[in-house]
Amino acid sequence: MYTEDWLKEYNAKQQRAKSKGIKSAPSDTKEVFTLEGVSKKLKKRRDTVGATGNPHAKALARLAKKPELLKGNKEHWEQVKIFNHYYLTSQSTYELMSAVPNGGLRSITTARAIKAEGGKRGYPDVILDSPKGVYHGMRLELKVSKGILSESQIKMLNRLHDNGYYAVVVFGKDEAIKAIDSYLALAKGKQMPISEHDHLWLIAS
């Protein structure tokens, strides 16, 4: 599951977090020198928090018992898996991530309340408030295999892009995690490469 390259980046993240006074996952890790060591520590943490304080693991446990919950709600569960991944592997990243509750069915009263509070149609699903490269932060629109972008989503992605955020469309959990990890590894002053899905929304300025 883990590679030498992964270990090198993991240790680098631990040292960066330590230098900034940030407590990063796993909580009992001071220094990790081997793949075997980090694997054991991460597994121990997953076993410890998976069934207790992790809301994403609890949700996925419900899904495992009732697979029918997946029907018509694949984007929701892919997003749950994304947050669960970072909850277990990088608390420093997880603490800077949040979700925008734009999807799903809701009553007219609830929809009006969200709009009154400042909710905006088309805002991307996942926020990562960590400046990297030339960007202020990352905004991620999550889709499943047959998902399409609405006009409001296209407008919002371009608005965020034009204002210095890294906006990206991904299909599924694996693409999302790859995009987030690539963004987090971005060197100062550098830009992210063109995404294979940019043509779905990016309007040339």
pLDDT digits (tens, 9 = 90+) for 135-166: 999 999 999 987 789 999 999 999 999 999 99
Q: Domain with 153 in it: what CATH number?
A: 3.40.1350.10
Contact between 184 and 8 under an 8 Å Cβ cutoff? The reply is no
35-49 helix and 74-89 helix, angle to the nearest 10 degrees: 120
What is the structure's pLDDT at 25?
45
Decide if pLDDT at 108 tops 90: no
What is the structure's pLDDT at 52?
57
- Mean pLDDT score, 115-143: 93
pTM of the prediction? Answer: 0.73
* CA distances from residue 118 to 34, 76, 100, 126 in whole angstroms, order as listed: 47, 22, 11, 16
- 155 half-sphere exposure, CB direction, 13 A CA radius: 6
For residue 78, being part of any structural domain is answered with no
- Mean pLDDT score, 111-136: 89
Decide if pLDDT at 205 tops 80: no
135 DSSP β-pair partners: 132
Distance, CA of 29 to CA of 91 (rounded, Å): 12
Distance, CA of 166 to CA of 184 (rounded, Å): 11
- Supply angle C-alpha 175, 177, 182, rounded to 5: 95
For residue 205, being part of any structural domain is answered with no
For residue 142, being part of any structural domain is answered with yes
Q: Which domain holds residue 131?
A: 88-200
Decide if pLDDT at 194 tops 80: yes
For residue 155, being part of any structural domain is answered with yes
